[in-house]
Structure 1
Amino acid sequence: MSLPEPEVVSLGCRLNIAESETIRTLVAHRDTVVVNSCAVTNEAVKQTRAAIRRARRDRPGAQIVVTGCAATIDPASFAAMPEVTRVVANDVKLRPESWGGTAAAPTVFAGHARAFVEVQNGCDHSCTFCIIPQGRGASRSIPAGAVVDRIAMLVDAGHREVVLTGVDLTSYGPDLPGAPTLGMLVERILRHVPTLRRLRLSSLDSVEIDPRLFEIVTGEPRVMPHLHLSLQAGNDLILKRMKRRHSRAQSVALVERLKSSRPDIAIGADLIAGFPTEDDAMFADTLALIADCDIVYGHIFPYSPRTGTPAARMPQVAPEVRRDRAARLRAAAATRKAAWLANAVGTVQDVLIERPGDRGHTAHFAEVRLPSPSEPGSIRRVAITGATDTHLIGTAE
């Protein structure tokens, strides 16, 4: 009797998604559930624990293995959960021997239309709110040759879109010979994998966007017109207390330059509501940033105090105020997104079709719903006939 197929539950960032696909090959043909955890907020840790309990209920005979940032930062608490078989730390989770094997097989993203490729891991910065460096360690980069080979293999396997991922993507390169930049890596990918249709970048630190990367993002049609920026706040004093390395004016100026060079580019941003010491005026600066930076994809977090971080020792904003401010940020971003989507009605967009075939995303990452299915993984020309507050409606040509 064959064993049930393994399951990998991936929480959190796109880097976790990329790593989860490698883990899936390493635990093949085993009655195992791997929970690849996230620790970016207290809520993410709660979701990890809920996923572990759900996995035990659904697969009572399976091994439950927990890895990822939450499990690496606090391994003892996860090992103590009665549902957990064992904990695997981040720094060894991609090693075959951690899963009882000897070699990793090349993987494709069978369940995803787009493929996620890790090019960088870890972080050398010390933002006062962030605990992730404790789970990921120092910044380190994947050599460009290995990245190009990986992407070429994925394209040969049928993937038409690749997303570059990392903990601090724009810090790519200084630890490698010749100190290449992220812009140089992207240029090399495009040159050596000419059959790659779409290249997308995950979250970028705006202050680290090098001139070559800016030129490619604004001038290369195979790089998607969609950037997600790690802005976090719109008030300079709060940014200073976060130990961010940019000012509000720099954020606004960057978006103005991007849109001047590529007017259709869609901007997403991480924003934190209710950071310690934030008063109403400081919050108003962040709220106004949604309009000032034309943010149509708001990734909004109410501040979550993480034990062991400097911000957790600062004067805290009341939880109900944090929640209210987060809701106001989400509402402002949702209003802006709805207006942006409405402006797309009547256009024709290239859409990457995703499973089960009745939905997909444009180059700008707007979701499109289709009345009849198309082949998952294909790129179709779609006439946009309508829009809701959250997605577009279209018909494939």
Structure 2
Amino acid sequence: MENHTLHSEKKVSFITLGCKVNQYDSDAMRTLFVKNGYRQAGEDENADVYVVNTCSVTSIGDRKSRQMVRRIRRSHPEAIIAVAGCYAQLAPEVFEKMGDVDVIVGVHNRSHIVEYVEEAKKRTDRKPLNETVDIMKVKTFENMSVDVSGEVKTRAFVKVQEGCDNYCTFCIIPYARGKLKSRLQKDAVEEIRKLVSQGYREVVLTGIHLGNYGKDLHDGTSLATLVAELVKIPDLLRIRLGSVESVELSDELISIIKNEPKVCRHLHLPIQSGSDAVLKGMNRHYRLSQFKALIAVLREKVPGIALTTDLIVGFPGETEENFLETLDTLKELKFSGIHVFPYSRRTGTPAATYPNQVSSEVKKERVHRVQELEKEIACAYRSQFMGKVVHVLAEEIKNGYFEGLTGEYIRVSIKDSHIERGHMYPVRIDTVTADGLAGTVAEEEL
């Protein structure tokens, strides 16, 4: 009887491409499968169902998504393959024509994915079940939650917002994710309380357009009201914000970051370009003078705040002069970290039709120049912590030592053996590494 049970056990495997929002969506779908009698397949196990959570932020994301589906089908000809995420939403016909996919759900109706998979199993013709909807007509947040009981981690990503109303000319995501949709504050708080009860000590709030959280609810909810509520959860040691647009930083939120020790003094503010001419072409809702003024205010009100950013190089029409202006802007603002991307031409966006597209060679070279500058600036930023005590939340063991993050989002290796996961430690920094810091536990008590 036991052998029969083992043989009939249903297993699911997830492959997630792209952003932290996608990762959360995968975790929420995995929770649904587990509740319906599935088990997460181990690395070396064959699964009955494979879910590929696709990405479409760049053409590389599209390609990787297709390659992953083909690879799974070759290795597992009998398995059910479901695709979700942005690329599945934008181009379901691509997956229909491939002949390798059984279920297509896009970015909505993911709460029904188990039902769709079970229905696909009954089909004899293997014709794909396409359950994508017109995302522009969806006006409410699809509330899904993550159950992590049995896992041992310390930092949880929680999605509180979906969709975007900005329509930057380079970005395909508003067409994939639809309009702004916020999660009810009580639902977000309830899930985070549950995660904390299961051992999580840091929560990272994520969304497609996080800074506008709550605007569509028309009940006074905002990112500031949500964070103020989360601060009250006793065993939650840290609250970190995902990417926020600079123009959406309210005085209330800045005040909370300044005054609440639990809220990380770290903001990720995408600048995208350091040239006003390029920002205008991108349809970004600010100009350099505004962005620089905000940075100055933040650094004055919240001393020591860490600021990281996203940057796109090679946007159509970006001249060498524009790019040099961007480099000067980066040198002036001294971000502690820069994620730089070459512009990716996305069919369906205005910028894809712009003249003066920049060659891939030039884009590659500009990415390299920014990366070299970033190394220099980031290393200088980290060097200021030499000899100082920082607070590190121990997360995982690497190379024999526990590692974790500071509130400023710097990875620190703790050179002590008596460290416990999920605990916060004062660490005196004695080494600046290639991508972080290292030190030993200080006597200072938290």
TM-score range, shorter chain: over 0.9
Structure 1 residues 130 and 382, CA gap change in structure 2 (3 angstroms): same
- C-alpha separation between the residues in 2 aligned to 1:213 and 1:266? 15
Instruction: Give the greater-gyration-radius structure (CA).
Output: 2
From 132, 136, 159, the equivalent of 2:173 is 132
2:55 equivalent in structure 1: 38
Partner deviation per Cα, 1:80-135 (whole Å, 9 max, x = no partner): 3354332221111133544559x977512836421111111001121100000111
How many angstroms does 1:64 deviate by? 2.4
- C-alpha separation between the residues in 2 aligned to 1:339 and 1:320? 29
- C-alpha separation between the residues in 1 aligned to 2:145 and 2:382? 41
Structure 1 residues 341 and 177, CA gap change in structure 2 (3 angstroms): same
2:30 equivalent in structure 1: 24
- Structure 2: which amino acid aligns with 1:381? P
Instruction: Indicate conservation of the 8 Å contact 1:271/1:301, yes or no.
Output: yes
Q: Is residue 281 of structure 2 the alignment partner of residue 234 of structure 1? A: no
Q: Is residue 258 of structure 2 the alignment partner of residue 218 of structure 1? A: yes
Structure 1 residues 263 and 61, CA gap change in structure 2 (3 angstroms): farther
From 132, 136, 142, the equivalent of 2:183 is 142
- C-alpha separation between the residues in 1 aligned to 2:279 and 2:196? 40
From 280, 301, 312, the equivalent of 2:320 is 280
- C-alpha separation between the residues in 1 aligned to 2:14 and 2:23? 9
2:381 equivalent in structure 1: 340
Counterpart of 2:321 in 1: which secondary structure?
Answer: helix
1:75 equivalent in structure 2: 92
How many angstroms does 1:201 deviate by? 0.4
1:295 equivalent in structure 2: 335
Give the 5 Å matches for 1:191-206: 191=232, 193-206=233-246
- C-alpha separation between the residues in 2 aligned to 1:124 and 1:200? 23
Instruction: Indicate conservation of the 8 Å contact 1:108/1:115, yes or no.
Output: no
How many angstroms does 1:181 deviate by? 2.2
Structure 1 residues 61 and 364, CA gap change in structure 2 (3 angstroms): farther
Q: TM-score, normalised by structure 2?
A: 0.83
- C-alpha separation between the residues in 1 aligned to 2:294 and 2:187? 31
Counterpart of 1:278 in 2: which secondary structure?
Answer: coil
Q: Which range moved further: 35-44 or 73-82?
A: 73-82
- C-alpha separation between the residues in 2 aligned to 1:279 and 1:107? 49
Q: CA RMSD in A?
A: 2.3
Q: Is residue 254 of structure 2 the alignment partner of residue 254 of structure 1? A: no
Instruction: Indicate conservation of the 8 Å contact 2:80/2:117, yes or no.
Output: no
From 5, 10, 14, the equivalent of 1:8 is 14
Counterpart of 2:193 in 1: which secondary structure?
Answer: helix
- C-alpha separation between the residues in 1 aligned to 2:422 and 2:76? 30
Tell me which of the two structures has the higher relative contact order, counting C-alpha pairs closer than 8 angstroms and 6 or more residues apart.
1
Counterpart of 2:271 in 1: which secondary structure?
Answer: strand
Structure 1 residues 320 and 158, CA gap change in structure 2 (3 angstroms): same
The number of aligned residues is 395
1:307 equivalent in structure 2: 347
From 350, 353, 359, the equivalent of 1:318 is 359
2:434 equivalent in structure 1: 389
Structure 1 residues 312 and 104, CA gap change in structure 2 (3 angstroms): closer
1:328 equivalent in structure 2: 369
Instruction: Indicate conservation of the 8 Å contact 1:131/1:306, yes or no.
Output: yes
- C-alpha separation between the residues in 1 aligned to 2:116 and 2:203? 27
Counterpart of 2:87 in 1: which secondary structure?
Answer: helix
Q: Is residue 156 of structure 2 the alignment partner of residue 115 of structure 1? A: yes
- C-alpha separation between the residues in 2 aligned to 1:105 and 1:338? 38
How many angstroms does 1:61 deviate by? 4.8
How many angstroms does 1:167 deviate by? 0.3
Give the 5 Å matches for 1:183-198: 183-191=224-232, 193-198=233-238
Q: Is residue 399 of structure 2 the alignment partner of residue 361 of structure 1? A: no
Q: Is residue 87 of structure 2 the alignment partner of residue 87 of structure 1? A: no
Structure 1 residues 64 and 370, CA gap change in structure 2 (3 angstroms): farther
Instruction: Indicate conservation of the 8 Å contact 1:19/1:94, yes or no.
Output: no
Question: Once the two structures are aligned, what percentage of the paired residues are identical?
Answer: 38
- C-alpha separation between the residues in 2 aligned to 1:87 and 1:384? 49
Structure 1 stretches of 5 or more lacking a match? none
